[in-house]
Amino acid sequence: MIEVRNLSYRYPDGKEALRDISFKVADGECIGLIGPNGAGKSTLLLHLNGILPERLASDPAVFVGGQPITEANLPEIRRQVGLLFQDADDQLFCPTVLEDVAFGPSQFGLDGDRARQALAAVGLAGFEERVTPHLSRGEKRRVCLAGVLACDPKVLVLDEPTTDLDPRGKRELKDLLKRIPATKIIASHDLELVVELCGRSILIDRGTVVADGETIELLNNELLMLEHGLERPHILMHQHPHRRVPFLA
C-alpha cells in the first residue's frame, strides 16, 4: 500500500531531516512510528501524502498503491492518504466544526452526511455549530480526526493522535482505530497505544531507520529503547516480562 524508497530530505534552511529511509507497508497493516523528539517522524509523515517536498522530485521516493506521488496525481493521493497533523491548529481553517469536517468530503464529492457521521464517531455529535477556535485542544484534535475519517481514506497517517486527549478520550480513540480497517501509520510517544494497536513498529532516530520489526520485540529491548530516548512501556512489564538485564546487587 505504501512504499518508501531511499527517501532523504533536507529542509530549505539546510537541516537534514531524513536520510535514506526505506520501508514497505502492506494493505491493512498498522505500523507504529517511534523515535525521540526531532527524529524525523513528522517530516516522514508529511511525505506520505505529498505535503513535502513542496516540489515533487523527478526521482520519486514515495509510492502509494504502487503509484509514485506526482504533481498530476496529488489530488488522488490526498484522497487515499488521510493525514492527521501533529498540531490541530495547522489543520483547522473553517469557522465552525461542521464546515471544517465537511470540507474534505465536499472536495472529493462524497456524501454530505459523512461529516456528521464522522463527528459522531469521534464523540462530538452536537458540536456541529460550535466555533472551532473556541474548542479545547482535545476537542480540536477530535475535530481534525473527524475531518480525516470523513474522507474515508485507504491509509490513515496519524501524527501523535492521543496528544491533548484525556484518558477516556485515549481509550475511545484506540477503540475507534481498532474498528477502522484502513492501513495505518501512527507516529506516537504513547507507547501503550503503539503496543495495543501496532503489530509492527519502525524506530527512527536522527533521520534514519534504526529498527523495523515486531512492536513487542522492539519495545521490550530496553537497551535499544534507552539508546534512542525511549522507555519500555509499563504495559509490557506485566504482559511480556523480559529477562535480559538482571538486577545486580
The contact set with ligand ADP (CB under 6 A) reads 11, 13, 15, 17, 35, 37-43
Q: Which letter, b or e, does each residue of 40-78 get, where b requires 16 or more Cβ atoms within 10 Å of its Cβ? A: bbbbbbbbbbbebbeebeeeebbbbeeebbeeebeeebb
User: Cβ of residue 44: shortest distance to ligand ADP, in angstroms?
Assistant: 7
User: Cβ of residue 28: shortest distance to ligand ADP, in angstroms?
Assistant: 25
For ligand ADP, the closer of residues 135 and 202 by Cβ is: 202
For ligand ADP, the closer of residues 90 and 113 by Cβ is: 90
User: Cβ of residue 74: shortest distance to ligand ADP, in angstroms?
Assistant: 20
User: Cβ of residue 42: shortest distance to ligand ADP, in angstroms?
Assistant: 3
Tell the residue number behind the cell numbers 529511509, with chain if given.
Answer: 21
CA 209, 148, 151, 79 torsion-angle sign: negative
Give the three-state DSSP class for 186: strand
For ligand ADP, the closer of residues 39 and 122 by Cβ is: 39
For ligand ADP, the closer of residues 15 and 234 by Cβ is: 15
Q: Note whether 36 and 229 are within 8 A (CB).
A: yes
Tell the residue number behind the cell numbers 471544517, with chain if given.
Answer: 100
